[in-house]
Amino acid sequence: MLDTVAARVNTPPAMDGLPPERRRWAVAAVFTALAMASLDTAIANIALPAIANDLHVSPAEVVWVVNVYQIALVATLLPLGALGEIVGHQRIYLVGLLVFTLASLGCALAWSLPSLLVARILQGLGASGLMSVNSALVRFAYPSRLLGRAFGYNALVVATAFTLGPTIASGILALGPWPWLFAVNIPFGVIALVIGMKTLPATPRAGHGFDFTGAVLASACLGLFIIGIGSAAHRTSPALVITELAGALIFGWILTRRHADHPAPMLPIDLFRRPIFALSAATAVCSFAVQGLAFVSLPFYFEDILRRSQVETGFFMTPWPLVVAFMAPIGGRLADRYPAGILGGIGMLLLGVGMVLLATLPAEPSVANIVWRMVICGIGFGFFQTPNMKAIMSSAPAHRSGSASGIVATARLIGQTTGAALAALCFALADREGATIALALGAGFAALGGVMSFLRLVVGSSQRT
C-alpha cells in the first residue's frame, strides 16, 4: 500500500497552505495573471473595428481574432490541467505566463491578419496554461479553512476584470493605436513571472506519465464542440454543425474508452463519478449559460425593444458584474461556514428571478426599474459562484486538483459559449422578440441549476449516513 502511495505522488505531502507572507505574494502573481487573461477577451472585442480598419480586412475575417484565441484556450484546458498534476501546477502556470506575455508582444508587433492570428493562438495557449491550474494553485496556497474566502477573491478578480475591461480598452484606444491593448500585458506579465518563480507553492506530482494521444483526443473533442457551437450561432449550414458536434462526441467517446482504467483520465470521468463534483460542474455550466444568454441578448433588448442608446446600454450592463465583484468575497466567507448546496441554490434561484423580472419589464421602464433587476441578477450570480467553485475543488482529491481546476475553467467557457449560441438561435427564430425568449430560457437554466444545487444537500446527507 505504501508503494502505491509513493507511486502516485513523488513529493512529500504539502503543508496546509503557504505561510501568510509568502501566500500574499503568490496569490498576487496568480491573480495578476488571471486578471490579464480575463481582460484580454473584452479588450480584443473592443479592438475589432480598429484592427479591421488598420489591417484592411472585413468584419467577418477580423472576428477570427477572438475565435482562434477562444478555440486554443478551451481545447487545451484539460490536457494542461492533467499535465500540471504530473510536472507541478506551478510549472504550467509559469510557462503559460511566459507564453502569454511573449504572445502579447507578438500581437502588438503583428503586421497582418495572419501574423496576428498566429500570435493570438499562442496567447490562447498561454491563457489556457494560466486558467487550467489557477484554481489548483489557489487551493494549495490557502489553508483549507480559508478556501471559501480564497475562491471569493478569485471570483472578485474575474468579475472586476470583466467589469473594467471595456472601459480600460476604450481608454487605451483613446490614447494610442490598437497594438497598445496587447503591449500593456508585457510589464504586468514580467512582474507576475518574477514573483511567481519565487513564491508559488510546489504542488504534489503524480507518478504516471502524460498521455499525448489522450491530449490530442481531448483537444479535438473540446475544440470541435466550441467550433460547432460557434457555427450554429453564426447560422452555418446544419450539415456542418452536425458534423462538428458529432466529431466532438466521437472523440470524447474514444477518449473515455481509452481512459476507462487510467488512474487520472484526461477527461476526468473518475471525478464525475463523485456526485458532488458532477452536480457542481453541471450547475456551473447552467449558471454561465444564463450569463451567456443574458449578455448577448440584453444589449439588443435595451436598444431594439426599449429604444435606449449605446451609452445607456453600457450603463445598464454594468450593475451585474459590479455586484458580482461585491458579492464574491461575501459568498466566499459564507462558503467556509455553510454548505454549497444551500448557498448555490439560493443564488441560482435569485438569478432566475432576476431573469424573469428582466423578461417582463414594462414597455417604457425607468432607469431604476432596469438597474434593480440587473442588481438582483448580479447578487444571485455572485452568491452562487464562489461556493460552487469551492465545492468543485474540495470534492476532488488533492492529487487531482489539476483536472478539477481544468473543469472549473472548461465549465465556465462551455456555459458561456452555449448560452451565446442559444441567444443567437433565439434571434434567428423570433427576430427582435428573440431577446425576450433568450431571457426566459436563461431563467429556465437558472431554475435547473438551482435544483441541481439543492440536490447536493441530499447527496451529501446520504454519503454521511
Q: Are 331 and 382 in contact (CB under 8 A)?
A: yes
Structure confidence at residue 234 (pLDDT)? 67
- The reported pLDDT for the residue numbered 256 is 84
**pLDDT score, position 310:** 67
Q: What was the pLDDT predicted at 1?
A: 35
| DSSP classification of residue 205 | -
| Bridge partner residues of 9 (DSSP) | 206
Beta bridge partners of 206: 9
Give pLDDT, residue 205.
78
Residue type, 330: I
Residues 6+ apart with CB under 8 A from 464: none
End-to-end CA distance of the chain: 27
The pLDDT value recorded for residue 462 is: 52
User: What pLDDT does residue 460 have?
Assistant: 62
- For domain 264-457, the question of CATH label 1.20.1250.20 is answered with yes
Contact 34, 157 (CB under 8 A): yes
Q: Any alpha helices (H) in 10-63, and if so which ranges? A: 20-55, 59-62
* pLDDT on residue 346: 92
User: Residue 67 has what pLDDT?
Assistant: 79
Phi, psi (rounded to 5 degrees) for 332 = -65, -45
Nearest to 131 by CA among 186, 163, 92, 88: 92
Q: What is the mean pLDDT of each run of 10 residues along the chain (465 residues)?
A: 37 62 88 84 74 81 81 87 86 93 93 92 92 84 81 80 74 83 90 90 77 86 84 76 89 84 77 89 92 83 79 80 84 84 91 92 86 92 87 84 83 84 80 84 93 85 51
Q: Name the CATH code of domain 17-201 (choices 2.60.120.380, 1.20.1250.20, 3.30.420.40, 3.40.50.10800).
A: 1.20.1250.20
Is the Cβ–Cβ distance between 389 and 153 less than 8 Å? no
Q: Where are the domains of the chain?
A: 17-201, 212-261, 264-457
| CA 258 to chain centroid | 27
Q: What is the structure's pLDDT at 11?
A: 43
Tell me, rounded to whole angstroms, the distance of Cα 7 from its chain centroid: 32
Distance CA(68)–CA(196), nearest Å, equals 28
Using the 8-state DSSP alphabet, how is residue 465 labeled?
-
pTM, entire model:
0.79
